Amino acid sequence: MAEKTTLAAVKKCLESSPQRKFVETVDLAINLKDVDLSVPKNRIQEDVVLPHGRGKALKVCVIGGAELAAKAKGVADLIITPDELGKIADDKKQAKKMASQCDYFIAEAPLMPQIGKRLGIVLAPRGKMPKPIPPGADPKPMIDNLRKSVSVRSKDRRTFQAPVGTADMPAEEIADNVDAILKRVTGKLEKGRHNIDSAYVKTTMGPAERLL
C-alpha cells in the first residue's frame, strides 16, 4: 500500500469519525516488524513533547521540599512534601489514587531513591516514575513541557499506540504531532522506517486510517 501524507490521513480520519457527544481522543497506532521486543533495549520508551500539545489538560505532580514546593505552587496540580510522601507510601490505596490522578511526576533528585523504594511498585508499572529535578531549580519549564508530552511505550508488544491530540484540534496540528512521534520512534529503531510494518490514526470510536 502506498504511503499517505500524514495530513491527508488525519483529515480522512477526522472526516470519517461520526459526531459524538464528547470530544474524542486521536491516537496513533504503530505496528513493528523484525524487532525482538523480548530484549528490553529494543523496546520503545520515550516521552515526546508534542509541537501542539495533547488538546487536553494534563496533571503534573511535584514531589519535593519547601523551596521546590513554593516554586511549584500555582503551577503544579499536586505538591507532595517528603513527610507526606511517607504517609502516602504506607497507604497503598492512597498511593494508587495519587498515581491515577496525575499524568506526570517530578521529584527532587535526592528523593528519587526513596521514591523508587517506597512508590516504585505503584508508579513504575504505570510508566509514571518521576522525572528528577535539581534542588532549587524552577519546575515551571519542565511542567510546561510535560503538559504537552506523551509517553510512547511499546513494552513487549509489536503493536502500541499513543494519543496525538483531540478531534477538535486542527488536522494540521494533529499531523505535526503524529510526525513528531514517528520521527522519534523511527530514530530509536535499528533499521528505522524498515522496522515499522504499518501505522494508523484513529479517533476513540472512529475507523482507523492507515498512513504507513
Domain identity same for 87 and 162:
no
Domain identity same for 154 and 50:
yes
**Bridge partners, residue 30, by sequence:** 160, 199
Domain that holds residue 93: 60-146
Report whether pLDDT(3) > 90.
no
DSSP state of 75: T
Quick one: pLDDT band at residue 164, thresholds 50, 70, 90? Answer: very high
Residue 181 forms part of a structural domain: yes
Span 168-189, pLDDT tens digits: 999 999 999 999 999 999 999 9
Domain identity same for 67 and 142:
yes
Domain identity same for 30 and 10:
yes
Q: What is the pLDDT of residue 10?
A: 96
Domain identity same for 94 and 68:
yes
Residue 162 forms part of a structural domain: yes
Domain identity same for 50 and 155:
yes
Domain identity same for 48 and 103:
no
How many domains is the chain built from? 2
**Going by C-beta distance under 8 Å and a sequence separation of 6 or more, which residues neighbour residue 15?**
none
Residue 1 forms part of a structural domain: no
Residue 79 forms part of a structural domain: yes
Domain identity same for 84 and 116:
yes
Span 45-99, pLDDT tens digits: 999 999 999 999 899 999 999 999 999 999 999 999 999 999 999 999 999 999 9
Domain identity same for 72 and 138:
yes
* CATH classification at residue 133: 3.40.50.790
Residue ending a domain, choose from 101, 118, 146: 146
Domain identity same for 82 and 140:
yes
Residue ending a domain, choose from 146, 169, 197: 146
Domain identity same for 178 and 191:
yes
Q: What is the DSSP string of 28-55?
A: EEEEE-S--TTSGGGS-EEEEE-TT--S
Report whether pLDDT(206) > 60.
yes
Quick one: how far is CA 87 from the chain centroid? Answer: 27
**Going by C-beta distance under 8 Å and a sequence separation of 6 or more, which residues neighbour residue 6?**
175, 178, 179, 182, 211
Span 142-152, pLDDT tens digits: 999 999 999 99
Domain identity same for 65 and 135:
yes
